[in-house]
Amino acid sequence: MFQILVVCMGNICRSPMAQSVLQADVARRGLAHAVQVDSAGTYAGHQGEKPDRRAIALAKGRGYAQIEKLRARRVREDDFERFDLILVMDDLNMDRMRFACPREHQHKLHLFLEYAGVEGLREVPDPYRGNAQDFERVLTLCEQGSEGVLNRVVSALG
């Protein structure tokens, strides 16, 4: 089983939206037997909480109802060994992940958009303090990136 972890700061906006999109695309492609997706944050302040209500409403509106079942959690030490691919939403959280990640697992860390092959942006912007359009932009980036991520995973799986 190939396991993907998506990481942002609080695990209530970007990473649960990306997880929901990736899970839906995994199911659509018939890959549920081979690929699992989870998400986490570098900050523990929202641990156990549902995703942001704006993220839930938008994701459900676009057909990603599984977002309601997700609960925020912080990245754990064993995540670096457990996951095959760790996709981080921005440079700040990438720095935090690089600092926490053992040397032998550093190769698993990638920025989500760069790994996904989305041109013109390095980071998925944090919509938390923004408006509805900011959340829409993030979900669109997650949708655009999901195909590229899964194409690379399928290629790696052979």
- Count the domains in the chain: 1
Q: Is the pLDDT of residue 117 over 90?
A: no
* Domain assignment of residue 97, given as a range: 2-151
pLDDT value at residue 69: 97
Q: Residue 9 maps to which CATH number?
A: 3.40.50.2300
Specify whether 126 is catalytic. yes
Sheet containing 109-111, strands listed edge to edge, beginning at the edge strand earlier in sequence: 35-41, 2-8, 85-88, 109-111
Residue 157, domain member (yes or no): no
**pLDDT tens for residues 123-151?**
999 999 999 999 999 999 999 999 999 99
Q: Is the pLDDT of residue 8 over 90?
A: yes
pLDDT value at residue 119: 87
Q: Is the pLDDT of residue 153 over 90?
A: yes
- 21: number of CA atoms within 13 Å, CB side? 26
Burial degree of 119 (CB within 10 A; 0-12, 13-18, 19+) = exposed
pLDDT value at residue 156: 87
17, two tokens: 């939206």
Residue 42, domain member (yes or no): yes
Residue 62, domain member (yes or no): yes
Q: Considering the candidates 13, 90, 126, 142, report the single residue annotated as catalytic.
A: 126
Q: Considering the candidates 14, 54, 62, 73, report the single residue annotated as catalytic.
A: 14
Specify whether 82 is catalytic. no
Element (H, E) at 7: strand 2-8
Residue 102, domain member (yes or no): yes
pLDDT value at residue 104: 98
**pLDDT tens for residues 28-87?**
999 999 999 999 999 999 999 999 999 999 999 999 999 999 999 999 999 999 999 999
DSSP letters of 46-104? TTTPPPPHHHHHHHHHTT-GGGGG----B--TTHHHH-SEEEESSHHHHHHHHHHS-GG
Residue 156, domain member (yes or no): no
Residue 63, domain member (yes or no): yes
Residue 50, domain member (yes or no): yes
pLDDT value at residue 158: 80
Residue 90, domain member (yes or no): yes
Q: What is the average per-residue pLDDT within 110-118?
A: 92
Q: Are strands 85-88 and 2-8 parallel, antiparallel or unpaired?
A: parallel
Specify whether 8 is catalytic. yes
